[in-house]
Structure 1
Amino acid sequence: MSERFGGRYSPDGSRRDHRNAEVQQTLPEPRIRHRLAGRPKWVTIASSPFLALAFFQSPTGMFTDLAAFGLIASGMWMTREGLVAEAAYEVRRVAKRPAIPRKLFGGVLAALGLGIGVAEPGVLTDGVLVGVAGMILHVLSFGTDPMRDKGATGVDDFQQDRAHRMIQEAEDLLDQMRDAILRAGDLQLERRVDRFAATVEGLFDRVRDNPGDLSGARRYMGIYLMGARDATVKFASLYGRTRDASVRASYETFLDDLEKDFKAKSRKLLDSDRSDLDIEISVLRDRLMREGVQPETEPKALVSDQAQTLDDLLSYDVTKEKTR
């Protein structure tokens, strides 16, 4: 689709620049990407000679080379998934360790592929040694999977599992919204949906931090998101055919209102958590006072008729004031 040329000194240029600046400020941050996410691809490319030379050997050699390449490629795919899970684990304050140690399984598959690829018929020693070396290099290159929960002290496992399942279903609805808006063929609308998704993910983070808030957020993460998904599907289908500006304006207003509701719910959950904390502190303070533990009082400020300036205050003798 063509786009009208414009700039700072063009008609309506200042207003357009202002709108673009607002859109840029409200764009969601890019998703977290692991710093080692590109390495598995290069390892897979480095193992491509197994695939290229497999068809120039005997049937046994062809089978072993194809198996070696397949195992290494599968191991690198599993390792990449492990890096994605680790990046999500690191960015969250409360997270459970991955249920499947993907990087460990990826290292084992890659080691088996290397061992099979270099092993000679009837001689397994070389293949075993190369496989062990490959496993060690895999651990040194990609690290290990997170092996413990983070920030889960005092959190009910049952509530956390329920919250995790609900968040996963809600994230699937958001992905379906992003996929549906692509049919509209409008980049600005795609960014608008991404901004809405970023607001919703803020609510997800609130529920992850305190799974007890799930009951209050269930309607937003279920019914409201499902309705937003359905509305996006219908809008993308209609707008893709008609390019009706009124339909677009109505959809953007709908997203604005829904986004305000999600922000208000996140603030309400935060205020509720703060109120619960104040109650806990008040109850604990009352118990300490009943047991005879008095809170420390703030020291009284120094008051003197002689200390009129900073130099007078520094040279003032406190002992004289006490004996007065």
Structure 2
Amino acid sequence: MANRYGGRYSPDGSHRDHRNQASTPMPPAPIRHPLESRPKWVTIAATPFLLNAFFQAPVGMISDLAAFGLIASGMWMTREGLVAEAAYQVRRVARRPAIPRKLFGGLLAAVGLGVGAAAPEAVTGGVLVGIAGMALHFLSFGADPLRDKGATGVDSFQQDRAQRMVDEGEALLAEMKDAILRAGDRRLEGRVAMFAATVDELFDRVRDNPGDLSGARRYMGIYLMGARDATIKFANLYARTRDQEIRASYEKFLDDLEKDFKARSRKMLNSDRDDLDIEISVLRDRLEREGVRASEPAAITSQDAQTLDELLSYDVTKDKEKAR
């Protein structure tokens, strides 16, 4: 489907002046692993198995086709593992991937190399080639994340509930992004992407503190569902009429909804800060009841210490005696 072009001199007048367009924030770049393109090249390198398969005997054809299929499947699984690892690395609190996709991808690629290199009289050579391919796969792509990150002190049951709600919210956002494509307007697509980035901030707050899920539930469910339904209706209507009043009303709707999500994220952050202050004050009270009082270290005001070693070995009591 062709995208409608718009600029400063567009006849519909829906686009702003280039000075205003320069100040319009761009949607955030998608999260990508730096090695995400490597599996594609490995799959391309395995195409000789596919091309030579049709010029061999039936046994050779089947083995070459199986080799290419196993390598391509392994690289697809490896790429999925890299995508999962990128999402794991960018989050402060994350569960390890349930399936070690890179490990399984390496095993499939190794078996594919072994099948492609094996011959009836040289099975050992195929096994060695497969082992070498597995080692090279590990050196090229690394291992899957094997431990949870930032999950200390987090209730696993609450975290699972929060993750289910986040998954449902991300599905609604994906439907919203897909619906706005029918409008055929790149600026509206970018505006929806900016709104999705704001919602992702709320998702991150919920992941960090699953105990606040009850307060954010209606934002992640009812509000996002309403935003998706409104986007579907707007995209269908705007694609037919190109009514600028409807467009302005939809953009105002996104602005108001985005402010609500930002306010909720700030409220959750302030709540976490208040909880921390309460914990610190309670701990201080307990220490004072035990007779332990925090004392401030004496300030060093002398000009005699000119180096770090002299500063560390300087006797503060001398300054106190001089002051007396």
TM-score, scaled relative to structure 1: 0.89
Structure 1 residues 218, 2: closer, same or farther in 2, change over 3 A?
closer
Query: Which whole-Å deviations, capped at 9, do the CAs of 1:146-184 have from their partners, x for residues lacking one?
Result: 110111100111111111111111101101000000000
Match of 1:17 in 2: 18
On the 8 A contact 2:28/2:193 being kept in 1, the answer is no
Distance 1:80 1:2 in 2: 34
Match of 1:196 in 2: 195
Query: Which whole-Å deviations, capped at 9, do the CAs of 1:227-250 have from their partners, x for residues lacking one?
Result: 100110010000000101111111
Query: Which runs of no fewer than 5 residues in structure 1 stay unpaired?
Result: 7-11, 303-315
Match of 1:228 in 2: 227
On the 8 A contact 2:28/2:194 being kept in 1, the answer is no
| Alpha-carbon offset, residue 4 of structure 1 | 4.9
Match of 2:96 in 1: 97
- State the identity as a percent: 71
AA partner of residue 60 (structure 1)? V
**Structure 1 segments (4+ residues) deviating >6 Å:** none
Match of 2:52 in 1: 53
| Alpha-carbon offset, residue 122 of structure 1 | 4.8
Query: Which runs of no fewer than 5 residues in structure 2 stay unpaired?
Result: 302-317
Match of 1:112 in 2: 111
286, 298, 321: which one pairs with 1:319?
321
State yes or no: 1:159 paired with 2:158: yes
State yes or no: 1:185 paired with 2:184: yes
| Alpha-carbon offset, residue 318 of structure 1 | 5.6
Match of 1:260 in 2: 259
Distance 2:240 2:287 in 1: 69
Query: Which whole-Å deviations, capped at 9, do the CAs of 1:259-306 have from their partners, x for residues lacking one?
Result: 00000000010111111111111111100000000121465898xxxx
| SS across alignment from 1:266 | helix
Structure 1 residues 298, 118: closer, same or farther in 2, change over 3 A?
closer
AA partner of residue 165 (structure 2)? M
AA partner of residue 321 (structure 1)? A
| SS across alignment from 2:78 | helix
Equivalent pairs, count: 300
Structure 1 residues 301, 67: closer, same or farther in 2, change over 3 A?
closer
Match of 1:311 in 2: none
State yes or no: 1:171 paired with 2:134: no
AA partner of residue 278 (structure 2)? I
Distance 1:165 1:319 in 2: 65
AA partner of residue 242 (structure 1)? T
Match of 2:86 in 1: 87
Distance 1:5 1:293 in 2: 69
Match of 2:309 in 1: none
Structure 1 residues 294, 4: closer, same or farther in 2, change over 3 A?
closer
Structure 1 residues 122, 301: closer, same or farther in 2, change over 3 A?
closer
| SS across alignment from 1:152 | coil
